[in-house]
Amino acid sequence: MTILVFGSTGQVARELAHFSRNICLEKSRADLTSPTACSEIICQLRPKAVINAAAYTDVDKAEKNEALALLINGDAPTAMANTCAKLGIPFVHISTDYVFDGKGKHSRMPDEPTAPLGAYGRSKLRGEKGIQQAGGIYVILRTSWVFSEQGTNFVKAILTLAETQKELRVVSDQFGGPTPAKDIAIACQKIATDLILGRGKSGTYHFSGEPDLSWAEFAREILWQTGKTVSVKSITSTEYQTLGKRPKNSRIDCTSLYDTFGIVRSDWKVGLRYVIDKLGSS
pLDDT at 281 over 90: no
What is the Cα–Cα distance from 107 to 129, expressed in whole angstroms? 22
Mean pLDDT of the chain: 96
The residues pairing with 146 across neighbouring beta strands, listed in sequence order, are: 179
What pLDDT, on a 0 to 100 scale, did the predictor assign at position 26? 85
- Mark whether 120 is an active-site residue: yes
In the set 98, 120, 138, 205, the catalytic residue is 120
Q: Dihedral through CA 199, CA 205, CA 211, CA 216, nearest 10?
A: 150
Yes or no: say if 221 and 160 are a contact pair by the CB < 8 Å rule.
no
What is the Cα–Cα distance from 206 to 179, expressed in whole angstroms? 11
Closest CA to 56 of 148, 136, 120: 120
What is the Cα–Cα distance from 59 to 45, expressed in whole angstroms? 32
Burial of 17-33, coded b for 16+ CB within 10 Å and e otherwise, reads bebeebbbbeeeebbbe
Lowest mean pLDDT among 18-27, 75-84, 104-113, 266-275: 18-27
Mean pLDDT of 169-192: 98
What is the Cα–Cα distance from 151 to 175, expressed in whole angstroms? 22
What pLDDT, on a 0 to 100 scale, did the predictor assign at position 28? 81
Express as a percent the part of the chain with pLDDT over 70: 99
What is the Cα–Cα distance from 140 to 162, expressed in whole angstroms? 36
Residue ranges in the chain assigned as alpha helix (H): 11-16, 35-45, 59-62, 66-70, 76-87, 119-134, 154-162, 181-196, 215-226, 255-261, 268-281
What pLDDT, on a 0 to 100 scale, did the predictor assign at position 20? 83
- Residue 27 pLDDT level (bands cut at 50, 70, 90): confident
* Helix (H) or strand (E) segment spanning residue 234: strand 231-235
Those residues with Cβ within 8 angstroms of residue 246's Cβ, 6 or more apart along the chain or in another chain: 59, 98, 102, 117, 174, 237
Yes or no: say if 268 and 179 are a contact pair by the CB < 8 Å rule.
yes
pLDDT tens digits, 208-220: 999 999 999 999 9
- Residue 91 pLDDT level (bands cut at 50, 70, 90): very high
Mean pLDDT of 225-235: 95
